[in-house]
Amino acid sequence: MVLEKNVKLTVPAHPEFVDLVRLTLFGIASKLNFSFEEIEDMKVAVSEACNNAVLHAYEGPEGHIEIEFEWNDDGELRITVQDRGENFAAPSVSQTSNLHGKSIEEIQSGGLGLYLMQALMDHVELNTENGTAVTMTKRRAASAQRG
């Protein structure tokens, strides 16, 4: 996959800036002809990744979240949410598929959010070197690609 276009956004790691990220995502995904349902799924996944950074990455009021939106003409949008704060002991993305049938108390902190991202996006990668980066990919439905 060769990604041809991108937009980078850096926001303070504060809850009130998550809406700005969601609005940016909405604008980009709309221009790429993603369906309303696909956009809503992406907004939930991106909000989850941003909220994790806001809540867990930084101990003090300082800190930023870097968001990169990359896309190509084949209807694929890749979103990376990166913080430079404290790493957390997250389960691997493959471990999140084992959450089915477990109670909320049995799910490790962060595991439910990763599971949700994985359920809503086509592909999710987690990198915990030098902060935390969550990269999520969504492919536009085939019917929208023709239009």
Q: Where are the extended beta strands (E) located within the chain?
A: 5-12, 64-71, 76-83, 123-127, 132-139
**Mean predicted confidence (pLDDT) in 76-88:** 89
CATH 3.30.565.10 matches 5-140: yes
pLDDT recorded at residue 143: 56
Q: What is the pTM of this model?
A: 0.81
pLDDT recorded at residue 11: 96
Average pLDDT, the chain: 83
pLDDT tens digit sequence for 97-113: 444 555 545 445 545 78
Beta-carbon contacts of 103 under 8 Å, excluding residues fewer than 6 positions away, are none
pLDDT recorded at residue 74: 87
How many angstroms separate the CA atoms of 98 and 43, rounded? 24
Q: What residue spans define the domains of the chain?
A: 5-140
pLDDT confidence of 141, banded at 50, 70, 90? confident
Q: 18 pLDDT exceeds 60?
A: yes
